[in-house]
Structure 1
Amino acid sequence: MRLLLMSDTHLPKRAKRLPEELLAELPRADVVFHAGDWVDSATLDLLESRSRRLVAVYGNNDGPELRARLPEVAYADLGGLRFGVVHETGPAQGREARCAARFPDLDVLVFGHSHIPWDTVAPGGLRLLNPGSPTDRRRQPHRTYLTATVADGALGDVTLRRLPQR
């Protein structure tokens, strides 16, 4: 099972549209994750129409329309793993312990907000993944997203994808 993870698209504030490289990944993904801060409903409509399965949440920059359509926290059982998605996890310091305590039954937590790619394992084995942002790199050297696979009850091939400079 192939996964595509993104967050913090902030359209159309940070970019006019999703990068072509990211859009080209959609048909290859069995499940698409978006960890919030869409800003516009058109991007949600696009991902719903082009994704086989979308697991998504709203973020702190998302208004009433997106909040009415999306949960604050989403869950999915995929290939024997329990995934969660949330936008905000708080400061980097203490993140692993805080998330392990908040989400004790998860195997993988996808989050956003910081625009900073993150891949760590918390005490107890919770894997924390932040794909960064495909449209707004902020202080990062690249715009990014993640791909991964699930096979035989294990997460594998977690790869940070860097998008070319605009």
Structure 2
Amino acid sequence: MRLLLTSDTHLPKRAKQIPGRLLDEIERADAVFHAGDWVDTATLDLFEARARLLVAVYGNNDGPGLRERLSERADVELGGVRFSVVHETGPAQGRERRCAERFSGRDVLVFGHSHIPWDTTTDDGRLRLLNPGSPTDRRRQPYCTYMTARAEGGALSGVRLHRLPRRR
């Protein structure tokens, strides 16, 4: 399965629209993960209309309309890989240890909030933590980003961070 991982779209506050390259990736993916901070329901509607399968949660900037439609945590198994999705995981220091405890029995955690791309594993190697950054708000990062990966035969492979062109 081809996967697309994204988070922190923050429309229309931080950008006017989803980048065209990300929209193309949504349609190519077998499953799309969004780790919260949509900000508007129109973006959720857009993703739902284009994605074959959407695994999504709400973030701290998402209001009642999004919280009625999404949960704080989503768990799914795809291609034999057990995923969890949340928005926040707390400070970077100690993240792997905290997440190993909170998400035991899972293989991959997709999260957002910081807009900082992240790809690590817990000390025991059982849980991989992925933050795709943001496709619309780079904050202190050099680029806006998203991730793609594959889930097949119980393994995650081909995890790739994609940089988007700077907006003018």
Q: Which TM-score applies when normalising by structure 2?
A: 0.98
CA–CA distance in 1 between the matches of 2:39 and 2:146? 18
CA positional deviation for 1:78: 0.6
User: Superposition pairs for residues 46-57 of structure 1, below 5 Å?
Assistant: 46-57=46-57
Identity of aligned residues (%): 73
Tell me the equivalent position of 1:133. 134
Tell me the equivalent position of 2:100. 100
Q: Structure 2: any 5+ residue segments left out of the alignment?
A: none
The one-letter amino acid of 1:70's match is: L
Find runs of 4+ consecutive structure 1 residues off by over 3 angstroms: none
Tell me the equivalent position of 1:44. 44
CA–CA distance in 1 between the matches of 2:134 and 2:27? 20
User: Superposition pairs for residues 26-41 of structure 1, below 5 Å?
Assistant: 26-41=26-41
Deviations 1:12-31 (A, max 9, x none): 00001100010011111000
Tell me the equivalent position of 1:74. 74
Q: Which TM-score applies when normalising by structure 1?
A: 0.99
CA–CA distance in 2 between the matches of 1:32 and 1:97? 26
Match of 1:66, SS?
A: helix
CA–CA distance in 2 between the matches of 1:38 and 1:106? 25
Question: Once superposed, what is the RMSD of the aligned Cα atoms?
Answer: 0.6
CA positional deviation for 1:123: 2.6
User: Superposition pairs for residues 56-67 of structure 1, below 5 Å?
Assistant: 56-67=56-67
The one-letter amino acid of 2:120's match is: T
Equivalent residue pairs, number: 166
CA positional deviation for 1:101: 0.4
CA positional deviation for 1:151: 1.7
Match of 1:132, SS?
A: coil
Q: Structure 1: any 5+ residue segments left out of the alignment?
A: none
Q: Contact conserved, 2:81 with 2:152, CA < 8 A, in 1? A: no
CA–CA distance in 1 between the matches of 2:7 and 2:111? 8
Deviations 1:28-84 (A, max 9, x none): 100000000000000000000100000000000000010010000001111111100
Match of 2:136, SS?
A: coil
CA positional deviation for 1:153: 1.2
Match of 1:67, SS?
A: helix
User: Superposition pairs for residues 108-123 of structure 1, below 5 Å?
Assistant: 108-123=108-123
Deviations 1:99-154 (A, max 9, x none): 00001011000000000000000133200000000000000000000000012211
CA–CA distance in 1 between the matches of 2:113 and 2:81? 24
